[in-house]
């Protein structure tokens, strides 16, 4: 679906984290809907390097870009020489900043702040130098255990990832005061959809439950999962918000969710209906009681007004659109 009639012919777009989940979806959006736009993908593709929690430092994967015909650069946004090259060798019109240490369980506070906050400042300086509008990924993690519905201005991060994203928002607002460019922060809620598989264990529970069911395993849910609610949003609506954030007068920080909280039980029930299964659920004690969000729900009123964003996918619609890809990934990646 095309979300803007803006003529982007001859424009140049930089997507950081472009081999990741959302970045790669953005890259293909432009390729399919704006073929005369030059798209440059920058990503720190995965290596064997891991964080102290055992998870990969970078989830970028070449398979997310199979079929992409734009320019691809392997590099680290912490590399100041690389950013200088980008400033001198290109002239960007839009920067979509999706690169980050996005693992909410990462303990490396130094790396988190360096990558998510300090490198963002360098990218803002690049945007200002080029006169490029900046659209960047913030996060619902900025809210921590704040009361639902979560509203911009009521943040209470409870991990360093959420803190880093809130710090990015503060920094962006400082630049908004003086910079002659549009700067938009998008606080993503629980995103699911194609090209998330290579996030490994941090991929959505939609995908993880889908693969459990396809393997013939009983879906395992925490006790009371019908009362554990999240704002789950299909990646197509995330792309919609990013494209609508290209408007030159859109500066601000906005929630990107559906505005509706749904349960983990809902996910399993919809998946089973779409996959044609009726496996019994297994309910296990929740070991995270006391440190676990039981309800997230985005207040999207400002997003509707400021961006013209309106979610197009209910959970039923999103899972229905996604289920063929869940099957394909299971056959080609999980079973092999």
Residues involved in catalysis: 161, 199
Say how far apart CA 248 and CA 233 lie, in whole Å.
25
Q: In this structure, what are the phi and psi dihedrals at residue 71, rounded to the nearest 5 degrees?
A: -85, 140
- What CA–CA distance (Å, rounded) separates 256 from 185? 10
């Amino acid at each position: 679906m095309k979300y803007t009639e803006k003529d982007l012919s001859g424009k140049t777009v930089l997507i950081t984290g472009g081999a990741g989940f959302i970045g790669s979806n953005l890259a293909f959006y432009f390729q399919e809907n704006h073929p005369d736009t030059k798209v440059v993908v920058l990503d720190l593709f995965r290596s064997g390097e891991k964080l102290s929690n055992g998870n990969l430092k970078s989830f970028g994967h070449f398979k997310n870009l199979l079929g992409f015909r734009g320019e691809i650069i392997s590099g680290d946004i912490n590399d100041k020489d690389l950013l200088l090259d980008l400033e001198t060798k290109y002239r960007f019109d839009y920067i979509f900043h999706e690169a980050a240490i996005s693992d909410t369980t990462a303990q490396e506070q130094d790396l988190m702040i360096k990558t998510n906050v300090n490198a963002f400042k360098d990218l803002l300086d690049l945007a200002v130098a080029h006169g490029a509008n900046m659209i960047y990924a913030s996060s619902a993690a900025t809210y921590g255990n704040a009361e639902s519905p979560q509203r911009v201005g009521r943040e209470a991060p409870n991990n360093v990832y959420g803190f880093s994203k809130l710090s990015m928002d503060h920094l962006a607002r400082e630049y908004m005061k003086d910079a002659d460019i549009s700067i938009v922060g998008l606080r993503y809620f629980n995103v699911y959809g194609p090209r998330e598989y290579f996030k490994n264990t941090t991929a959505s529970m939609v995908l993880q439950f889908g693969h459990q069911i396809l393997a013939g395993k009983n879906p395992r849910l925490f006790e009371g999962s019908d009362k554990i609610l999240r704002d789950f949003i299909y990646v197509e609506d995330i792309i919609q918000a990013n494209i609508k954030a290209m408007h030159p007068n859109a500066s601000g920080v906005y929630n990107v969710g559906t505005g509706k909280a749904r349960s983990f039980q809902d996910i399993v029930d919809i998946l089973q209906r779409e996959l044609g299964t009726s496996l019994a659920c297994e309910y296990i004690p929740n070991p995270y009681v006391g440190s676990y969000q039981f309800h997230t729900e985005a207040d999207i009123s400002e997003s509707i007004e400021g961006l013209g964003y309106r979610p197009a996918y209910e959970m039923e619609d999103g899972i229905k659109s996604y289920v063929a890809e869940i099957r394909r990934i299971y056959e080609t990646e999980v079973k092999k």
